[in-house]
Every structure is written in structure tokens, then in C-alpha cells.
Amino acid sequence: LRTITIDFELGVSNVFTKHYPSVIVRGYLFHFGQSLFRKSFAALSLLPLNHILQGLQCLTSTRPEYPNIQGFLDYYHNTYGPFSKFPPHMYNLYRNITPRTINYLEGRHSRMKKHEQALESIARIRDDMGAPTPKHRKNKVVTDECLMKLWKRYDNGRIDITSFLNAAGLRYFQRPSRS
């Protein structure tokens, strides 16, 4: 066995890399393209609110010919479109680099005891109120700086909407790495 082609499953890749270091692990180009297309859709949330519809039209007009792509487009429109359950104003993050996850809250909750008494909980919350804000990981800081530069290039007309969506999708919607 010299080469194995996988569906971009990190676990499978790690197993082959660990147990068969001489085997070359490759991903299917088809799945790679699908992933990039979906990431561009996620990047719509980073456009100015009044540009999201134009970005959506741009993506749907240049869509690749994947099986079931229309199903994905219908799902997106019904779930995140202008008249959907979650319209764009609910997920728009244009020029917003504040924390967008609740990981720090989940960490604090895990430090609390399962059946802590109310007064203990109140005391813990009071202690937390004076605590400094959580520090950002270095990779998060770098990513946010890149996003700020990307927004500036888009706002100044140096890149078009398609380039913005592709770049933001690739850079900003990666699985987080540990640093």
C-alpha cells in the first residue's frame, strides 16, 4: 500500500499517518471542493448585512455541479435566507471580532460543582466578576488580524465579493488548532 485516498476525515488520516508512516494520505478532490464551497457559505456571515444577498446570488450562480447541491442550497435558503427561521441579521458578524463562542462559559461551568449550594454559586460568581477576561489564543489573534485586513481590502474595493468569500471561508472557517 503506497497511497490511500480518504474523505478528509481527520481521524482516519491520523490513524494511517501513525500506523503506516510510509503511506501517502490524500483526500478526494470532490470532497475538498464541497468543503470549500460550504466554507464560502459560512463566510456570508462576515459580509456587510446589505451585501449578503449579493454574496448568496454570487455563490449560487457559480455553484459546482455536485450531487445534492440543490438540497444544500434549499436548506440554506430555508434556514438562513432573508425570510427564514434565522435571517441574516441574527448571524451577521461584519466587523465583529468579539468572542463568538461560549467556550469560556463552558469551562467555568465545568469548574462548578454538580450540586453546589446557591450561596456557594453566588460567591463563585462574585469571584469571577473581578477576574480578567480570558486571553485569546495566538492563532485566534492572528486569524482576527487577517480578517480585519480582509475586511479593509473588501471595503476599499481591492477584492470583489467572490474573492472575499473564498478567502474568508478558507481562513476563518477552519477547525481550531491548539496553540
Q: For 121-144, write each residue's pLDDT tens digit.
A: 777 777 767 666 666 677 677 778
Rounded Cα distance between 61 and 59, Å, is 5
Mean pLDDT within 49-65: 86
Per the model's pLDDT, the better-predicted residue between 28 and 33 turns out to be: 28
Question: Taking 70 as the threshold, does the pLDDT of residue 105 lie above it?
Answer: no
C-alpha cell at 68: 445534492
Per the model's pLDDT, the better-predicted residue between 83 and 161 turns out to be: 161
**Amino acid code (one letter) for 137:** R
Torsion of CA 16, 19, 24, 29, to 10 degrees: 0
Sign of CA dihedral 28, 31, 37, 40: negative
Per the model's pLDDT, the better-predicted residue between 52 and 105 turns out to be: 52
Question: Taking 90 as the threshold, does the pLDDT of residue 48 lie above it?
Answer: yes
Mean pLDDT within 107-128: 70
**Kind of pairing, strands 3-6 and 24-27?**
parallel
* Confidence bin at 169 (pLDDT 50/70/90): confident
C-alpha cell at 67: 450531487
pTM for the model stands at: 0.61
Per the model's pLDDT, the better-predicted residue between 62 and 49 turns out to be: 49
Beta bridge partners, 4, equal 25
Positions of E strands within the chain: 3-6, 24-27
pLDDT of residue 179: 43
- Count how many Cα atoms sit within 13 Å of the Cα of residue 146 in the half-sphere of its side chain: 14
